[in-house]
Amino acid sequence: MPPILPGETDIYAITDSRLSLGRPLEEVVSALLGAGVRLLQYREKKFKAGAMLEECRLIRRLTREAGACFIVNDRPDLALLAEADGVHVGQEDLPVAAVRSLLGPDKIIGLSTHAPEEALAAQAAGADYLGVGPIFATQTKEDVVAPVGLTYLDWVCRNIQRPFVAIGGIKRHNIAEVARHGARCCCLVSELVGAGDIAAQVDEVRRAMRAGMA
């Protein structure tokens, strides 16, 4: 089955052990997948490489069983070793061309963008999808850039042909507004992995997003 891209599904979930209420990764990922999330990124900035590989292999097994797409943040080496569907990189990580030479033509490469010139460059470089944001202020990343707001999202909707995911500070209370501005796939971190009942939260987030698209 071909990997799932943003635009082919509505929710892009990112893991974060710091925000998961002490629950093991398998429990959190299983809850997300059980709730119908089909695009999931593994992101842990401070774990040792061996531990990260072990967790990536766990997620690969779970996502494969669920028919979901598995993306690794920043690390093409881990994506290869864990047989992930692809990797997501930032502006200061390895360039798309270098990642493509490592992963080959069949893996997904996503690239974070924060401004029109970065979006155009990502599209020209052959990124399979773009991260668009941070739309709102977020504390889930230590090296986060300033919020770009909804104006940049509007520009992407008008000018970029690649699939994209809106990211950054998106919550249940504001996702309808993001959807009204054209986002059809939204990334959430703390709102999902930090929920007491992940399945119920996914359902509520989807309801709110559909309301914004109506």
d(CA 200, CA 204): 6
What is the DSSP code (8-state) at residue 4?
P
Per the annotation, the verdict on 48 as an active-site residue is no
Per the annotation, the verdict on 30 as an active-site residue is no
* HEC letters along 143-187: CCCCCCHHHHHHHHHHHCCCCEEECCCCCCCCHHHHHHCCCCCEE
Q: Write down the domain spans for the chain.
A: 11-213
Catalytic, out of 43, 100, 162, 172: 43
Assigned token pair, 187 = 């990334």
d(CA 136, CA 177): 11
Catalytic, out of 75, 100, 107, 141: 141
Contact 112, 41 (CB under 8 A): no
Tell me which fold the domain 11-213 belongs to: TIM Barrel (3.20.20)
Whole-model pTM over 0.85: yes
Beta bridge partners of 48: none
For every one of its 214 residues, what pLDDT tens digit does the chain have, with 9 covering 90 and above? 678 999 899 999 999 999 999 999 999 999 999 999 999 999 998 999 999 999 999 999 999 999 999 999 999 999 999 999 999 999 999 999 999 999 999 999 999 999 999 999 999 999 999 999 999 998 776 667 899 999 999 999 999 999 999 999 999 999 999 999 999 999 999 999 999 999 999 999 999 999 999 8
Catalytic, out of 20, 38, 100, 112: 112
d(CA 82, CA 117): 33
Per the annotation, the verdict on 171 as an active-site residue is no
pLDDT in the model for residue 8: 94
d(CA 214, CA 40): 25
